[in-house]
Every structure is written in structure tokens, then in C-alpha cells.
Structure 1
Amino acid sequence: MGREQWNSRTGFILAAVGSAIGLGNIWRFPYITYENGGGAFFIPYLFAMASAGIPFMIMEFTMGHKWRRAAPGIFTKLGVDLKLRLQWLGWFQVMIAAVIGIYYVAIIGWSISYLGLSFTQNWGDNTNDFFFTQYLQLGAYSPFNLGDLLLHIAIPMFIAWSITFFAVYTGIKEGIERANKILMPLLLIIVLFLISQTVFLPGAQKGLNYLFQPDFSQLLNVKVWSAAYGQIFFTLSVGFAIMLAYSSYLPKKSDINNNAIITVSINCGFSILAGILVFSVLGHMAEEQAQPITNVVSSGVGLAFVTIPEAISHLPIPYILGPLFFTSLVVAGLSSHISIIEAVISAIIDKLNYPRKKVATLVCGLGFIISMLFATNGGILLLDLVDYFINNIALIFSCLVEVIILAWFIKASIIRHYANQLSDFNTGKWMELCLRYMSPVILLIILVRNLINTFTQGYGDYTFMDQLLLGWGLITFMLLLSIIINICSKNNRHDDKENL
């Protein structure tokens, strides 16, 4: 039986965009922009998109299309040519995806809960106290003392897992492609409608000025450029097996360059729309409360489940705009979660040659059980700690090793030549320069900076033992397990030796 394929180019692009567009576009990008020079931040951000995002996406689409395997299979084949055993990197990326998929679903569960709450605004006047004390019931707990299972969190997580399971169980065409053809247009329509209702609110213009007011002095700050590149790698779903898996289902005749540029551009464009939406709301909230907007700006979980719910109470027709906002969070989360789990499933199918339905049932069932750790009193603490180490250490390391192997050992010129043969337009030498020099240097700077900060300052208020076991220990375990799988695998040369 041949490998599954996307039914249409549109279906593939929507699926890739659905993976890239996630919760981070809504609750991380606006704050990153505000914090790093406002409108001036778009200069390094767009430069990072052109010099890192698009070349990296073309590289991963090329690898997936050429080898028609998930990440472990691709690196196995590349290792044969280089006379190296590289399968470990593919499995390390799959494990990153698995870990993210297990805790990411908790945030989707919270979003589903808040979608229900938004119809009546049952979070009350003190949204901070409601979220942490009443909803999460976070007390004197820790990552190793999680407390009890909370059914009001576990049930929404089960709903999220069920939707993801249905999408991956039914396959590429009937499940994932069909789901994204519904989810992505729905997300765009909701966000555009929300913007149309919020951008004209009193104070909204003030919020947008804070977001887009350029501070060109920040362009001389290395941290701003590092933040721009970090956001690009954070949001595009590269480096942890997803885009390799998705592109492996492309038909033989596929315009790789155009697909990559469209995917990256839509993702970045949506981030800007999310910024307009969020800061319109924050500006109105500041106007209503007669306080500076700097007092209400936040990022991450605090923005989505504390600040925005409070702001919704000050909006006109809150019983409509509130549910629509949290629907957008749920949709963005689900589209990303489906892609994350598919990266794991495709790797296992390639390795064991098991039927998709069997693997989907096993992965989603086991994932649901483990994810219940995050449906506890201390679940948010475990999530926060694991998320930091996975995204700031493991993922950046994975991207760095991948680009060095592909751009230096396989050679960027060969990758570019393959993509150009299939595409309507050719990329120039700039792509090779970006992959060989710019991306590795930037990734190395980000990784070294993150390592130094984590070694010297630690993360948050977590104990040394928490960080050692659940941070460094988890990454070490993933690396060792990946290497063990690599060693225990039969001769990697069983794969065909077709070269790029």
C-alpha cells in the first residue's frame, strides 16, 4: 500500500498553517512585539522570517517530500549517505513533539472550559483569583506534589484528545486535511470579526499605538534580534518532526518553494492580526479602568486566562465576543495539537509498519493517560517547568543540529537545487547563505544564552531538584532513549540509498 497523500495543495497548506498557528501567535507574539520596540520590531521580525523561517521551511519540506518518511526515517536515510547513524535525531524530535503534545492539550482544555464560562462570565470580578485559586485550585503544591485529579479540567482535556484522535485516526485526507479545511477558515473569520468589533472601541487606538509605535533605538539591541529569530523558530513548528511528517505526504509534483513561502507568510500575517486584536482589547480595558496600558499588558497564560477575561467584562456584547475569543483559542490549539500528534504517529507507523488506526489509538490513549498529570492541582507548575526546558533548550538544540547536518553535510546547494526543480520559481544563493551561516549562528547564540541563563539563574522559583529532574533530567532521558533506539535498530542500510 502506497503512502497517503494530501488531497489538494490547499489542504496541505491549511494543515501546515494550522500547525504553525497556535496559542503562541495569540498570546506570545503581541507581547514580544510590544516588549521589543513595537513597530520597529517588525524590521528584525520580517528579516528573520526571510532569512530563517522561509529557508528552514523549504529545507524541511524538501526533506519530507524527497524521502517520504517521518523524521526518524529521513535521518536514517541521510545517515546512510553520510556513513553516520543519525536516526537518533529524528527520534529526539519525535519525543519533543510527544512531550509538547501531552502538556499542550492541558491549555486547550483550559480554553474549552473558559469557552463555556464566557457565556455567563462566571469568572467574576477577580479573574486572577478565579483562575489560579478556584479553577486550577493551585495551593501549596509543586511539580512533584501535584495533588488531586480535577475533573473539571480532565473532562475538557478528554474532549480535546477526542477531537485530535478522530482527526489522526481517520487519516490524512479524511481526517487531518478535512479538519483543517474547517478549522483554519473558521479561525480567520472569528479573528477578523473580533477585530472589526474591537478596533473601534474607546482606547483601542491607544493600545494599537503602544503595539506599533516604533522605537528604532531597539534595533541596536542584540536581544531584540534574538527575540525576533526566537519567535520565528518558536511559532513555525520546525525542528520537531511536524513539517517533515506533513511534507512526506505531498504528491510528487509539488511546488515546494511556494508552499513554504505561503505557509510562513500566512502564519506571520496571522500573528500581526492577533496583535491588533489583543492590543485593541487591552487599550479599551486600560481606558475603562483609567490606568496606563502598561499596567494591563501581559503574556502567556496570564493574558489568555486572567487579563482577557477581565477585559471581556468591559466589552460591548461580551456574551458574544467572549465566546468567540475563546473559540479562536480552542481552534488554534486543536489545529496545532493534531499536527503534533501526527508527527509521533507517522514516525511509529514508518518504524513498525503498524496500521494507522492501531497506532493512533495507542498514541492518543497513552497520551491522554499521561496528560492527566496536568489536570491536577499542581499541573500548571509541572507544565510551566517542562515547557521552559523543552522550548528553550531541547527544541533550539534540535533545530541547530538539524540545520548543521542538512546545510553542511548534505549541503544547502543540493537542497536548493531539488526544491527549485519542483517549484514555479527558483530561490537564489541567499537560501544557502541563510542555512549555512545565518541560521546556525543565530540558533547557537540563542541556545548558549538560554543555557547560561538557566545554569546561572535557574528558572522561576522551582527548586534545584525540580529543575534537575524534570528539566535537565527529561532532556537527558530523551537523548539517551533516542540514542538507544538508534543503536538497537537493525542495519540502517535496509532503506534504499537514493541520494538527493
Structure 2
Amino acid sequence: MRDSFHSRIGFILAAAGSAVGLGNIWGFPTQVANHGGGAFLLVYLCVIFILAIPALYSEMLIGHSAQANPVRSLTQLSEGRARPIGRLMGYLNVLGSCLMLSFYHVVAGWMLVHALGFLARGFGIEVAAEFLLNSSLTRDLIFTAVFLLATAYVVFQGVEKGIERWSKRLMPTLVVLLVALIAYMLTLPGADEGLKKYLVPDFSLMTDTSILVAAMGQAFFSLSIGLGGMMIYGSYLKPGANLGRLSLSVAALDTFIAFLAGLLIIPALYAGIHLGVNVGEGSKLIGEGQLIFAVLPELFNSMGIAGPFVAFAFFMLLSIAALTSTIAQAEVPVSYCIEERKLKRPVATALSLSVIAMFSLLLILFFEPLFGWVVTAVTQFQLPLSGLFYLLVVGWLWHRSNHLKAIAAGSVGLTLLRWHIRYLCPVLMSIVFYHVAFG
């Protein structure tokens, strides 16, 4: 009997956890800060409904209809001459998941090590703090392995007893930490300027096409569409699940957490400016990796005795966000091994995480030539290309037993949704693909 989610709330928390990753905490606020603040936020919310939710629905619909891993699902539903392409895209989803998890575990290890390093500093254990907060091969190997073992531990227990149960624990913890950090950050001098920048839109910027394209890209990546994670989660839903309502719920929770991340990061940046921290590169605010590992630690160090403990909470927040994503994406190769190679879950988990560990080891040992290349290949090419293919499968390649086609026949709203997925969304996704891959 195939494993499945036990409850609706369990699925929503797990799927939102898959979507809520490091990109939400550092990627979304960076895009907001560098693309018009409140104007970007408004455009982003519109794009979520126009592009991201239909794409999320399409990915979940493929998995739910086929009740299988991405290889079998895309092969089965890409009918006729497109079947070999569907099979190829399924295998690329499995490979892409392993590659994504290889660099994601390295970065997640950095988050965990920074959390523990600042905690050690807070308690005056400087020897440990120096080791943890200064990059070294030994440190990176140890903490990448720790995070790999954490992912394996959850996935090993299965969908209901592992992924669903831990998602119910991790997601509320993440939200509580996020809200507590926001409350503290908003008390700092200068934070109110960042809050104004974030929440008060400049409507004259909303016609800027660069904001629209950036919002489309961020909305798509924010919901973790394109590597089969949402597809495999959709396949674990019981027959008759209301995919439309679930898609809306997952997107709403993911967007809410991204919004909270903006409430934390952007006021923190302006608080840093007030304290004399360098947060800019030319006309733009520093973002992503430099923001997390350079700017914010400098801000935390300027906070006095509270700084190390605020930093610990912040990096634990990022560690939790990373774990909710890794346990979801790891299920893609694990489900493939179980269903296509007929392995038991413990063996499938060990084999999948061993392959990911091997890739991670190569990235750590050959960081300069490999790391950036792998990140670019997965995030800028495979994610948008796979998302486009999902839309083409649902809109064009899947004919027999097409659930969306069948239910659209009796509903004007669903007919419009089908036409939206068939025509408008592929055009928008093509624009996103061109922008992130070649822009």
C-alpha cells in the first residue's frame, strides 16, 4: 500500500514547508528591496495568483492523477510521441533534486553552524565560536553531514510518521521564531524607515517591466515548483482531494511567510544603516549570501549582549526553513527508488542520501569551479524549464482521463482555468525562463 498524508493540515504544512526555504528568507526580501519595495510586493501578490498558483496546481495535479513518482507520472501523462520527453523530464527531476539537495545541504550546514557559533559566543565559549564561525574544510564536512543525517532521519520514517509529523512541529516553530525576531527588530532605530519602504508602495514604479519579470521569477521559485517535490506530495494525497483549495492554502501560507520575512529583513537592513553597517553595493542593497553571512552578522555584533542570541534565533530560523525543504525534495529520489527500483524505504533513503552526500562532498572539495555552476544549472535552467513542461503536460500533452479537462466541462470557472493554464501560463513561464536563463 502506498504511503499518504493523514490529514489536510499535515499536507498543507508539509507542502508549504517544501516551498518555504532559504529563498523565502533571503531571496524575497532582496527582490523587494531592490525592485521598488512596496510596489514589488503588490506586483508579486498579483503574480502569485496569475502564474504561481496555476503552476503549483498543475504540478500537484500530475502527481495526484498518476499516483506515482515524477518519472512514472510524466511518462504516463505525456501521451503519444511526447512520452519519451516526459520520461526524460522525469529523470531530470530526480537528478535535479539530487543536485539541488547537494548544494542545499552545504548551505543548510552553514546556517546551523552559524546558529551554534553565535550561541557559543553568547555564552562566552570563544574557542568553539571561533571554530564554528570561521570557514574550514573540517567544519563544512561535519555540518553538511549533520544536516544530511537530519534529512535522512525524517524521510526514513515515511510520509505520515516522518514528513507530516515533523512538518507539524517545524512549521509552527518557524513562524513563532519569525514573529519574535520581527518584534525585536522593529524596536531598533532606523527600522521604521525600512518598514515604510516595505509597506508603502510607489505606484509610479508598478509599470516598470523589470519589476514584473522579477516578481514572476520570484513567485515561481518561492513555491518550489519545477523539481517534482510538489508532484510527489500531490501523489501522496488521497483520491478525491480538492487540489484547487489545497493549492490556494499552500500558496497563501508560503506567501504569508515570505511577507513576514520581508518584515524582518528589510527593517533589519535599515537598522544596519542607522548603526553604520555597510549594506549596499552601488545603488542596490546587498542581498542573498552576502546579506546572510556578512551584513546581518555585523548587525548582530553591533547589538551588544543581545546580539549573539538574536543571531542564534535567526540562523535557527533559517536552519528550520532549510530542513522543511530538504525533507520534501529528498522524497523525489526516494520515491523513485521505491517505486521503480522496488527498494524498501530504509534502503531507498540510504541510497538516495548517499548519492546526495557524494555530490555534496564534490561541491565542498571543488567549491570554486563547481558550486556556482550547479546552482545556476538547477535554479536558472531546470526549475523554469520543468515548470513550463508541467503546464504543457496538463494543457496539451495529456488527453485521456485529464481530470482538469473533465471537470472544466461542467464549470465556467474551471473552463477559464484550463484555458489560462493552456495558453497564458506557458507564455508567462517562457518569459520567466528566458529572463532567468539568459537575461
Q: TM-score, normalised by structure 1?
A: 0.80
The answer to whether the aligner puts 1:328 opposite 2:314 as a matched pair is no
The Cα shift of 1:292 comes to 8.1
Check the 8 A contact 1:62/1:419 in 2, yes or no: no
Check the 8 A contact 1:286/1:293 in 2, yes or no: no
Gaps of 5+ in 1: 123-129, 138-149, 454-500
Instruction: Report the counterpart of residue 307 of structure 1 in structure 2.
Output: 295
Check the 8 A contact 2:55/2:390 in 1, yes or no: no
Instruction: Report the counterpart of residue 143 of structure 1 in structure 2.
Output: none
Instruction: Report the counterpart of residue 72 of structure 2 in structure 1.
Output: 73
- Corresponding pairs, count: 429
Instruction: Report the counterpart of residue 207 of structure 1 in structure 2.
Output: 194
Match 2:364 to one of 375, 378, 384:
375
Instruction: Report the counterpart of residue 178 of structure 1 in structure 2.
Output: 165
Instruction: Report the counterpart of residue 15 of structure 1 in structure 2.
Output: 14
Distance change >3 Å, CA 7–CA 81, structure 1 → 2: farther
Gaps of 5+ in 2: 123-129
The answer to whether the aligner puts 1:392 opposite 2:380 as a matched pair is yes
One-letter amino acid of the structure 1 residue matched with residue 418 of structure 2: E
Match 1:352 to one of 326, 337, 341:
341
Q: Distance in 2 between matches of 1:426 and 1:381?
A: 52
Q: Distance in 2 between matches of 1:420 and 1:411?
A: 13
Instruction: Report the counterpart of residue 181 of structure 2 in structure 1.
Output: 194
One-letter amino acid of the structure 1 residue matched with residue 20 of structure 2: I
Q: Distance in 2 between matches of 1:399 and 1:333?
A: 22
Distance change >3 Å, CA 120–CA 84, structure 1 → 2: closer
Check the 8 A contact 1:312/1:318 in 2, yes or no: yes
Alignment of 1:48-197 (within 5 A): 48-80=47-79, 84-85=83-84, 86-121=86-121, 135-136=134-135, 150-197=137-184
Check the 8 A contact 2:64/2:237 in 1, yes or no: yes
The Cα shift of 1:374 comes to 2.8
Which structure dedicates a bigger proportion of its chain to helix?
2
Q: Give CA deviations for 1:36-70 in whole Å, capped at 9, x if unaligned.
A: 12111123211211111111122222221121001
Distance change >3 Å, CA 451–CA 328, structure 1 → 2: closer
Instruction: Report the counterpart of residue 127 of structure 2 in structure 1.
Output: none
* Other structure's SS at 1:164 match: helix
Check the 8 A contact 2:191/2:267 in 1, yes or no: yes
The answer to whether the aligner puts 1:439 opposite 2:438 as a matched pair is no
Check the 8 A contact 2:77/2:397 in 1, yes or no: no
Alignment of 1:282-321 (within 5 A): 282-289=269-276, 297-315=285-303, 317-321=306-310
Distance change >3 Å, CA 206–CA 358, structure 1 → 2: same
Check the 8 A contact 1:245/1:343 in 2, yes or no: yes
One-letter amino acid of the structure 2 residue matched with residue 303 of structure 1: L
Q: TM-score, normalised by structure 2?
A: 0.90
Instruction: Report the counterpart of residue 244 of structure 2 in structure 1.
Output: 257
Match 1:275 to one of 251, 262, 267:
262
Q: Distance in 2 between matches of 1:222 and 1:407?
A: 27
The Cα shift of 1:207 comes to 1.6
Match 1:245 to one of 232, 249, 253:
232
Instruction: Report the counterpart of residue 467 of structure 1 in structure 2.
Output: none
Distance change >3 Å, CA 38–CA 227, structure 1 → 2: same
Check the 8 A contact 1:67/1:74 in 2, yes or no: yes
Q: Distance in 2 between matches of 1:282 and 1:46?
A: 23
Q: Distance in 1 between matches of 2:400 and 2:316?
A: 41
Check the 8 A contact 2:55/2:387 in 1, yes or no: no
Q: Give CA deviations for 1:197-255 in whole Å, capped at 9, x if unaligned.
A: 11122111012223334232332222211111101111111121111111111112322
Q: Give CA deviations for 1:171-195 in whole Å, capped at 9, x if unaligned.
A: 1111111111111111001001111
Check the 8 A contact 1:28/1:300 in 2, yes or no: yes
Check the 8 A contact 2:79/2:398 in 1, yes or no: no
Check the 8 A contact 1:106/1:371 in 2, yes or no: yes
Check the 8 A contact 2:177/2:317 in 1, yes or no: yes
Q: What percent of counterpart residues are identical?
A: 27
The Cα shift of 1:433 comes to 3.3
Q: Distance in 1 between matches of 2:296 and 2:142?
A: 23
The answer to whether the aligner puts 1:343 opposite 2:332 as a matched pair is yes
Q: Distance in 1 between matches of 2:251 and 2:419?
A: 19
Check the 8 A contact 2:59/2:390 in 1, yes or no: no
Instruction: Report the counterpart of residue 125 of structure 2 in structure 1.
Output: none
* Other structure's SS at 2:119 match: coil
Q: Distance in 2 between matches of 1:228 and 1:381?
A: 30
Q: Give CA deviations for 1:262-300 in whole Å, capped at 9, x if unaligned.
A: 001110111110011011211211112287878893211
The Cα shift of 1:97 comes to 1.1
One-letter amino acid of the structure 2 residue matched with residue 329 of structure 1: L
Distance change >3 Å, CA 157–CA 220, structure 1 → 2: same
* Other structure's SS at 2:285 match: coil
Match 1:232 to one of 216, 219, 225:
219
Q: Distance in 2 between matches of 1:293 and 1:198?
A: 19
Instruction: Report the counterpart of residue 496 of structure 1 in structure 2.
Output: none
Instruction: Report the counterpart of residue 25 of structure 2 in structure 1.
Output: 26
Check the 8 A contact 1:374/1:382 in 2, yes or no: yes
What is the root-mean-square deviation of aligned Cα atoms in Å?
2.7
One-letter amino acid of the structure 2 residue matched with residue 192 of structure 1: V
The Cα shift of 1:11 comes to 1.1
The Cα shift of 1:452 comes to 3.8
Check the 8 A contact 2:277/2:299 in 1, yes or no: no
The Cα shift of 1:28 comes to 0.7
* Other structure's SS at 1:28 match: helix
The Cα shift of 1:382 comes to 2.5
One-letter amino acid of the structure 1 residue matched with residue 425 of structure 2: S
The Cα shift of 1:366 comes to 2.4
Check the 8 A contact 1:51/1:431 in 2, yes or no: no
The Cα shift of 1:402 comes to 2.3
Q: Distance in 2 between matches of 1:70 and 1:190?
A: 34
Q: Distance in 1 between matches of 2:223 and 2:191?
A: 29
The Cα shift of 1:413 comes to 11
* Other structure's SS at 1:7 match: coil
Instruction: Report the counterpart of residue 394 of structure 2 in structure 1.
Output: 406
Check the 8 A contact 1:403/1:436 in 2, yes or no: yes
